[in-house]
Chain A
Amino acid sequence: MYVDLPDDRAHVLLVHGYSGAFDKVPASVASYLRSLDERPPKPLYGDWTDTGNNGDAEATRPSDELLALLTKRGYLTSLTRAEERARFDRLVQMRHEKWSALPPAYTLMPTYDCNLRCGYCFQDHMRTDARYEHLLRFMTPQVVDRIVAAMPAIEERHGLTQPGAPRNVMFFGGEPLLARSRPLIDYLMAAIRRAGPATFTAVSNGTQLDAYEDVLGPEGITVLQITIDGTPELHDTRRVHADGTGSFAAIARNIDLALGRGAKIDVRMNVDRSNVDVLPRLASLFEERGWFRDAGFSAYVAPVHGTKGNLERKTTFNSHELGVTINAMKREHPQLGKFDLPDDDLARNLRSLFREHGDALPQMKAAYCGAHTSMYVIDPFGDIYACWERTGDKNLRVGWIEADGTPQFVADRLATWRKRNVSSNETCGQCRYSMYCGGGCAVLAEDVHGTIFGNYCDAFGRRFRETVGRAYGERHLANTVDERVASLRAL
């Protein structure tokens, strides 16, 4: 991959797709490599292109010594294309197997029910279409007991036979922290803790957190992701209660309360073209409430994606468009710098990498997310899913937990999810960005291709090149996001 440096046309950053090499070379060396490219980059695979402004320098053959170094770092090879692909597939498999051996990440859904009716929610139909009414029940203590009993057997699948690090448990819904669920959550946390140490996080709408005040904080639910979609007036048109009333005031009060308890709050803002303009005012409002001064507070923007066919493309951003739009707005509204953008995690990792001349291998992804490695999403009925975007339909479950606590798996369905990686589909297998991208979201890929074994690029190639160039220029900036917050975003 060839990365232009914004302020230096004489050089290009070379990035190898799987060796972990990032190297700054004269533009003429990059041109030499381009001249040897058997398959000139073109917009063939998905939505990316491999253009660069600095690639027009005259190509000159480097010294033998430099050619040897470029070969060692992977840019030049004597392998055939088939041999190179076989090596790539082997490396991806090794990386995927290592990642899959990590302890399970449990996502527990106490209920599919929710007190809000947000039009863009991928689960909204469950609460508004009577055909899904059967889903709107709550997990029973008996199901909780079955889940806890099943955990050792699930962990054994990942090579864990002895109690080890604390179990990672995230509450998800529906809305997992409804006031009426408090006894259930107490029962869940107590049952899991009786079985061993555990950490608890939650994705919550934040409207009824006051019912959980005493369990928020370092000893209880440590991190909460809460969504705010704009200024109070706008938020209250998007994230509405079933009776049509808004939710901003209750959420803001509860964020104050949770921060006061020492919990970490990561605010997510689902952004499309209808609410992006209010982000500067929202950042000012967060500032006025003192949230940005609290070390436990962070906030990030995420694009709304139309996964249900009810959102028109012209109303949404892809991740690149969102980043470009907000970065442009920062010139007039510097307070937007307090919001994390989709590629800021990558930029932070790259800055560290460049500062420390570190190893890029840990940054590389064989697969996109935990749905393809070690995530178990367990719903109120004890059904197991690989991905929360595909919950609520027994025909899609990858397993279930029997009454005696034995987990049963639908072997081929689980294998389908767990084997999606960047070498198990032809598009990603030929893309030089794939090990930094992971292939994109499987659900969104399925929307496009009809199968999860496809790519969902989300303009990654362009985002990657721009982020690498920017991170190199800003490599001396410090990183600030808390690791536990980053890990919640990464589930």
Chain B
Amino acid sequence: MEDKIEKLTTEEVDVEALEARLELLDPGMTPGYYCYGDG
């Protein structure tokens, strides 16, 4: 069986180190969303 993984996002992903990475995250880096306002 083919037994490999191709990581599409950063190598740094480690679920045990998430809190430390979130602490360092630039707060200005926020995702977009769109508003439903039908005005």
Chain B contacts for A300, CB-based, 8 A? 34
Q: Which of A88-105 contact B (CB under 8 A)?
A: 90-91, 94-95, 98-99, 101-102
Chain B contacts for A441, CB-based, 8 A? 35-36
User: Which A residues contact B (CB, under 8 angstroms)?
Assistant: 10, 13, 16, 18-26, 28-29, 60, 62-63, 66, 69-74, 77, 90-91, 94-95, 98-99, 101-102, 120-123, 172-173, 203, 227, 270, 300, 302-305, 307, 342, 345, 349, 353-354, 357-365, 368-369, 388-389, 438, 441, 443-444, 472, 486-487, 489-491
Binary interface encoding of chain B residues 11-39 relative to chain A, with 1 for a CB under 8 A from any of its CBs, else 0: 11111101101110111111111111111
CA distance A122 to B39 in the complex (A): 6
User: Which B residues contact A (CB, under 8 angstroms)?
Assistant: 1-16, 18-19, 21-23, 25-39
In the complex, which of the residues A18, A69, A121, A362 has the most CB atoms of chain B within 10 Å of its own CB atom?
Answer: A362
What are 30 A-B interface contacts by the 8 Å CB criterion?
A20-B21, A29-B3, A60-B1, A72-B15, A73-B14, A77-B15, A91-B19, A91-B22, A94-B23, A99-B30, A203-B39, A305-B36, A307-B36, A307-B38, A354-B8, A357-B9, A359-B9, A359-B21, A360-B9, A362-B29, A363-B31, A364-B31, A365-B33, A438-B31, A438-B33, A441-B36, A444-B36, A486-B32, A489-B34, A491-B35
Contact A29 B37 (CB under 8 A): no
Contact A23 B5 (CB under 8 A): yes
Q: A77-B15, A120-B38, A361-B25 are in contact. Are A28 and B2 (CB under 8 A)?
A: yes
Contact B22 A22 (CB under 8 A): no
Instruction: Please give 4 more A-B residue pairs, beta carbons under 8 A apart, in addition to A357-B8, A357-B9.
Output: A22-B7, A72-B16, A91-B22, A122-B38
CA distance A99 to B25 in the complex (A): 10
Chain A contacts for B29, CB-based, 8 A? 362
Contact B28 A74 (CB under 8 A): no
Contact B5 A24 (CB under 8 A): yes
Chain B contacts for A438, CB-based, 8 A? 31, 33
Chain A contacts for B16, CB-based, 8 A? 72
CB distance from A223 to the nearest CB of B (A): 14
Contact A66 B3 (CB under 8 A): yes
Contact A23 B35 (CB under 8 A): no
CA distance A273 to B4 in the complex (A): 46
Contact A94 B22 (CB under 8 A): yes
CA distance A18 to B2 in the complex (A): 27
Contact A359 B12 (CB under 8 A): yes
Q: Kindly list the 5 A-B residue pairs having the minimum CB-CB distance in the complex, ordered from nearest.
A: A362-B29, A74-B15, A490-B32, A24-B6, A22-B8
CA distance A417 to B19 in the complex (A): 25
Contact A270 B8 (CB under 8 A): no
Complex: chain A residue closest to B32, CB-CB: A490
